[in-house]
Structure 1
Amino acid sequence: MPREQKSEKSNKRGRPKTIKETCELVVRLAKENAWGYVRILGELRKLGLHRLSKSSVKNILKENNLAPSPERSRDSWDCFIKRHFQTLWACDFFTKQVLTPLGPRMFFVLFFINIKTRKVCVAGTSRHPNREWVNKKVKSTLPLLRSHENGKKLLIRDRDTKFSKEFDELFNNNGFSVQKTAFMSPNMNAYAESWVGTIKRECLNHFIVFGERHLRHLIKEYVEHYNATRPHSSMDNVPLEDTPSKKTGNIRCQSKLGGLIKHYYRE
């Protein structure tokens, strides 16, 4: 007699396959946190999922090319920026060639930018920004930086030698932690670098600058526009000082720097 065929519904040995939704949850917990297998398992049990074992979690992560906890817990610079975004400042220098009675000279501009609000504070301009000059400008600028938010704040700076130990101490004594970027890594100070490109592209590159006074005037006019009336794509395309706009009324134009900067508003 032919052997009877086994029923398709016959019992199978071993653990039942983990359902798709649970696998996706394990992967999500691993990607959003630096947790190990046991910690993920504990979180699953909090959610009423008791059937998984430590080895099941391990296999799910392995199948999805997710490394164990020690490797996933290595912090990235992007994660660092996001974690401190609410109280983060960045500083840097940019340069502009200026015509002087002695011929063309390169001037340095020290500035700070608040990463959350995008507001910029220019500390000063100088042909010779040595450590003493930088520290003097920091002392006069710190009250403005402190006024933006309460609590511990963080400052990103590069390893330019003009930023000295005294520079760091001034910030530490005023509620800031100072984080240095890696050597030759301008991308780690991307917000400051981006603003340098913006002021040059939208303002300074359009002018031959005659003297330091002229340079200061150009920067002052542009920073006031940037901080108050210029729409920002990264801030829902509204000005940093967003005020209720009128829906009716005559449209007027406020012009600065020979018409280079224009602000439209309703009366």
Structure 2
Amino acid sequence: MDFFVIPTATFGVLLGFVVVSHRDRRILHLNVTAHPTEEWTKQQLREAFPWASAPRYLHRDRDKLYSEGVRATLTHLGIREVPSAARCPWQNPYAERVIGSIRRELLDHVVVLNETHARRLLREYQRYYNASRTHLALGKDAPETRAVQGPEHGAKVIELREVFGLHHRYERRTA
């Protein structure tokens, strides 16, 4: 898990919060706030791991936002935290890679107006990332596995817009 900065049109700063699965590169949780507090962060952890779905370990950096209360919530959820060394973002490569993808593939191409707009953009990007975006580490598949469409699915290839038209996915359909 990690936090990242989202600049807004009015020169404000929002903080995004992401939780990524190491196993299948799936974005488990993504949210944004203008005022990150201990209570907000604890609630994000509860939302990221509902119904006893928490992993055994969770890698995090040493940000001040991970207070004693947040660490207690991790313990309550049955998660052992694995903090990285101070000022070493390379020790949390999966979260850093996802944050870089969010910046390059979404935030560099839109002007975020406010917190609600950022949340809407991030939710749409999360759907795209998990269902359509391919990953070399997953054998050029998406985290949510999908079947390869051969010519038997139809000769016509159609374009499906994703993330408000920033990205596209293509499927075969019968004519």
TM-score by length of 2: 0.89
Could you say which structure has the larger radius of gyration? 1
From 77, 97, 116, the equivalent of 2:23 is 116
Gaps of 5+ in 2: none
Paired letter, 1:256 = E
Taking the aligned partners of 1:130 and 1:213, their CA distance within structure 2 comes to 18
Aligned to 2:166: 260
Classify 1:202/1:119 alpha carbon distance in 2 versus 1 (closer, same or farther; 3 Å).
same
Classify 1:154/1:258 alpha carbon distance in 2 versus 1 (closer, same or farther; 3 Å).
closer
How far 1:192 moved relative to its partner?
0.7
Aligned to 2:134: 231
Contact 1:155 1:178 in 2 (8 A): yes
Taking the aligned partners of 2:53 and 2:123, their CA distance within structure 1 comes to 20
Is residue 73 of structure 2 the alignment partner of residue 198 of structure 1?
no
Aligned to 1:64: none
Structure 2 counterpart SS, 1:217: helix
How far 1:123 moved relative to its partner?
4.2
Is residue 41 of structure 2 the alignment partner of residue 137 of structure 1?
no
From 93, 96, 111, the equivalent of 2:6 is 96
Taking the aligned partners of 1:174 and 1:227, their CA distance within structure 2 comes to 24
Please give the per-residue CA displacement for 1:203-230, whole angstroms capped at 9, x wherever unaligned. 1100111122211111111110100111
Using CA pairs under 8 Å that are at least 6 residues apart, name the structure with larger relative contact order, 1 or 2: 2
Paired letter, 1:230 = R
Contact 2:128 2:162 in 1 (8 A): no
How far 1:92 moved relative to its partner?
0.2
Taking the aligned partners of 2:61 and 2:34, their CA distance within structure 1 comes to 20
Q: How many residues align?
A: 170
Contact 2:7 2:112 in 1 (8 A): yes
Contact 2:30 2:122 in 1 (8 A): no
Gaps of 5+ in 1: 1-90
**Identity fraction in percent:** 28
Is residue 35 of structure 2 the alignment partner of residue 128 of structure 1?
yes
Contact 1:109 1:124 in 2 (8 A): yes
1:157-172 equivalence runs, <5 A = 157-172=60-75
Classify 1:142/1:258 alpha carbon distance in 2 versus 1 (closer, same or farther; 3 Å).
closer
